[in-house]
Amino acid sequence: MIKNADQIFVLLQHWVMSFFPTALQPIVGVLLAVVSIICVFPALFAIAVLMERKGLGRMQNRYGPNRVGPLGILQPVADGLKSLTKEDIVPTSADAVVHFLAPVFLVVVVFMGYAVLPMGRNMTLVNLDAGLLFFFAMGASTELSVFMAGWSSRNKYSLLGAMRAVAQMISYEVPLLLSSLVVVMMSGSMNLGRIVAVQNQYSWGLPHWYIFTPWGFAAFLLYATATTAESNRSPFDLPEGESELVAGYFTEYSGFKFALFFLGEYVGMLSVSGLGTTLFLGGWSAPFSFLTWVPSWIWFFGKVMLSICVFIWLRGTLPRLRQDQLMNFAWKFVVPLSLINLFVAGLWRFMGDGFARWGVCSAILLIAYVGMAKVGMQKKHFGPRSYRYAE
Amino acid sequence: MTIVFYLIAAITVAGALAAMLLKNTVHCALALTVAFAGLAIQFLELDAQFAGFAQILVYIGAVAILIVFAILLTRGSETPKDGVFSKSWLAGLVIAALVFAVLGWAVLNSTSVLPGETAKPAVSVLQIGNALIGRYVLPLEIVAVLLTSALIGAVIVARQEKGSAK
Amino acid sequence: MGPLTLVQVTPLQGYLLLAAVLFAIGLAGALTRRNAILVLIGIELMLNAANLNLIAFWRYGPHPEALTGMMFAIFSIAVAAAEAAVGLGLVIHIYRFTHTTDLDQINRMKG
């Protein structure tokens, strides 16, 4: 009964597949999984948008939306209807083909990332051997759609926002890849199912999640920073800063195309949260060994929604970083720390089992963190003001 | 020769032709991205998964963006008044046609050496990793040095010198 | 089945012909376009065609378990990315002096 609850979606899929002839069964199985991903994650997007607006509102000492439905629950429905019925304005000097393709490309590429995430026991759509590489390849392709959106609008603000966004996303690709590389190094595989299986062991009731090790904790924090910047979320949301650039690279988009960009951003956020839980928080494994009777997919989605709550919390709390501060932070603080983390993870493996390695690794990471903060993050000293005349 | 091969080959060739024939430079760069994507799918058809995903990550995620940045920094989106093809375009076309003729003849006339269908190789990322550290460690280190020097060189070449006119 | 039934083509020859077509298109573009960046695009197409050749020979040749073709292609991807970066840096630098990327006009060594 417990096993059935855990595998309920797999059993449902096999049951529907059994109605079709044998030759068509693999296609039907894959189609079912794809359709369910396309239905579930936009539903989670609606919940996330509602949570964000109410959560931010509470953090800013106000109610969020509370008119549409009890406690504002039907707000996403109202938003969806609004964006579907708004007029779709395309500027006359805009490049129509590229303008149309940019949001389409973004949504397609962002949904492809879900193909390799293990959402429960035996619930991966495609169990690729180089699954992590596929996920990052899809993540790198989203930058191109941001550029396409900004350039095709023929608008100075859009182009500026797009350039900033692409520069930011490229700078934070490096720490993203480096912090995930530590997990690949320690688990020995790029297969996401295998990474979760390695973390699914318990000693004294506590799980072997990578976040509970010094290098894993540091890598998780670096990964969280890098993904916040990759999704253009606060405190890294200068490209879409509402007070600076109107709306950044999607200024000229209205109606359904804007909704597609919004969907793409949040679905991307859900996707990198899913990867973060897979790599560091143990994927679908339960936190304590006496809780393994709860179905695995509940743990996965619970951890993903917890990550979304942390994203919303960050947005409501931290001020926005300026473009040069953001790039400075990436190249002079996060990248060196990621490299030191790689070294520390190797040292962890080299020192063998025991308590000494906890102390040594934690000490090295703390010294590196404090040292880099003091050395790398020196403030610019502004001298006395000098005037440049036009001569 | 499956239908998938012909479809993806058509997309790739169409993307490459568009990349070389269109007037607007940014459109050329985007068509090049389509060609890269088509090639990545061809790599996947050839059971080279790692190479296919690396192609998407490096080419579409980095080289295409580099090209569009360079186009924007050099005002490439304005069409030149003399047309987009150089004065000696006919010579270039003839040379390319000759090269294709020679390559095509060589491919179609040397059938005897290799077998038609071979078994699918099962390559895991673990084998690639072992090969990189084992048999190919020297090329790996040389490529690392090359990438570092290219990084430093590109930054030095493209930076603005102090005191030069903007 | 397919357009090449006049000649019997093995899969390997199909891939090699596709690579030859891409190489010829890249070469034609590199030799005929005016803009320096489009010449670099042509060069990237040629490198990609060569990569396809390497992977096709790796797949259909003897000893695919030695991984030689795939390794060569991966290193080629890395080197091509480095070359694109340096080449585009050079184009930007030249643009600062001559204010044009038109190769028909950048034909004098004296600056």
Residue A267 in tokens: 């679905």
**Cβ atoms of A304 and A281 closer than 8 Å:** no
Nearest CA among A221, B108, B89 for reference residue C32: B89
Phi/psi at A262 (5° precision)? -60, -45
Q: Are residues B60 and B127 in the same domain?
A: no
Higher-scoring residue by pLDDT: A376, B120: B120
Q: Is residue B116 part of a domain?
A: no
Across chain C, mean pLDDT equals 87
Residue C43 in tokens: 């060069």
- CATH number of the domain enclosing B5: 1.20.120.1200
Taking the C-alpha atoms of residue A54 and residue A61, their distance in angstroms, rounded to an integer, is 10
Residue B94: how many CA atoms within 13 Å on its side-chain side? Answer: 4
Q: Are residues B74 and B131 in the same domain?
A: no
Q: Are residues B4 and B74 in the same domain?
A: yes
Q: Cβ contact (<8 Å) for C65 and B121?
A: yes
Q: Are residues B67 and B138 in the same domain?
A: no
In the structure, what pLDDT confidence band is assigned to residue B111 with cuts at 50, 70 and 90? low
Domain boundary among B22, B49, B78: B78
Q: Cβ contact (<8 Å) for C93 and B128?
A: no
Buried b (16+ CB within 10 A) or exposed e, A145-157: bbbbbbbbbbbeb
**Cβ atoms of A240 and A158 closer than 8 Å:** no
Residues 6+ apart with CB under 8 A from A377: A328, A329, A332, A333
Planar angle of CA A176, C41, C34, nearest 5 degrees: 140
Taking the C-alpha atoms of residue B10 and residue B4, their distance in angstroms, rounded to an integer, is 10
In the structure, what pLDDT confidence band is assigned to residue B164 with cuts at 50, 70 and 90? very low
- The whole-angstrom distance between B37's CA and the closest CA on chain C is 11
Q: How many CB atoms lie within 10 A of CB B142?
A: 12
Averaged pLDDT, A10-18: 89
- The whole-angstrom distance between B107's CA and the closest CA on chain C is 6
- Domain of B157, in residue numbers: 121-166
Q: Cβ contact (<8 Å) for B67 and C81?
A: no
- The whole-angstrom distance between C110's CA and the closest CA on chain B is 18
ipTM of the complex, rounded to two decimals: 0.90
pLDDT at residue A323 is higher than 90:
no
In the structure, what pLDDT confidence band is assigned to residue B114 with cuts at 50, 70 and 90? low
pLDDT by residue (tens digit) across A34-81? 999 999 999 999 999 999 999 999 999 998 888 888 888 889 889 889
Residues of B in contact with A170 (CB under 8 A): 62, 65
Q: Is residue B57 part of a domain?
A: yes
Q: Give residue limits of the domains in chain C.
A: 11-98
pLDDT by residue (tens digit) across A124-150? 998 999 999 999 999 999 999 999 988
pLDDT by residue (tens digit) across A282-296? 889 888 888 888 888
Q: Cβ contact (<8 Å) for A133 and B54?
A: yes
Among B22, B27, B43, B56, which would you mutate to test the A interface (most chain A Cβ atoms within 10 Å of its Cβ)? B56
Residue of A nearest to B49 (CA): A130
Strand partners, A203: A206
Instruction: State the DSSP H helix or E strand holding residue A324, giving kind and residue range, or none if neither.
Output: helix A323-329
pLDDT reported for residue B115: 64
Nearest CA among A195, B88, A375, B166 for reference residue C31: B88
Averaged pLDDT, B70-86: 76
Q: Let me know if domain C11-98 sits in CATH 2.60.40.3880.
A: no
> How many domains in chain B?
2
**Cβ atoms of A106 and A264 closer than 8 Å:** yes
